[in-house]
Amino acid sequence: MKNILICAAIGLTAGPVLAQEAVTYPFDGSFDDATFAVENAIIGKGLVIDYVSHAGDMLARTGKDIGSDRVLFDGADIFLFCSAQLSREVMEVDLMNIAYCPYGIFVTDRAGQVMVGYRTYPDGEMQKVQSLLDDIAQDAVGG
């Protein structure tokens, strides 16, 4: 019960939220506005978006196929991209850092609560990537 209360309290904060190895920021606006902001923030860093995964659409479409009628998200997209310079830098330290590429920023909408976030990375060299993701996420939410 104590963990549930702690998680609930964390969910009410206005700053970044760490949950299930992800950092999230609330977005004050619509899902469409948030996806536009994330796209612009990524491009603004000189990066190219390789792919946008429409995970929310997939989950909505396949729910019936697995016997579920639960709505998980009203919208959920994941923007996948890489940084040639940063990727080379972290992989020159450890070739296995390739496991973290491409990098992703997600946007979710659940009952009108829009969030922008990214998964966390391990200590060490990959913190440079996490810092880039945090910059992009904060740019997108206006932080």
Q: Burial level of 108, CB count in 10 A (0-12/13-18/19+)?
A: buried
DSSP label of 101:
P
The pTM for the full model equals 0.84
Mind listing the pLDDT tens digit for each residue in 9-64?
Answer: 344 445 555 445 999 999 999 999 999 999 999 999 999 999 999 999 999 999 98
Smallest Cα–Cα separation from 18: which of 124, 126, 134, 141?
134
* Residue 100 in domain: yes
State whether residue 138 is helix, strand or coil. Answer: helix
Q: How many distinct structural domains can be found in the chain?
A: 1
pLDDT band at 143 (very low <50, low <70, confident <90, very high): confident
Share of the chain above pLDDT 70, in %: 86
28: CATH? 3.30.310.70
For position 13, what pLDDT does the model report?
46
Q: Show the domain range for 87.
A: 15-141
**Which two three-digit tokens encode residue 68?**
């579920």
Q: Flag whether 3 is in a domain.
A: no
**Average pLDDT over every residue of 65-71:** 93
User: 113 in a domain, yes or no?
Assistant: yes
Question: What pLDDT score was predicted for residue 44?
Answer: 97
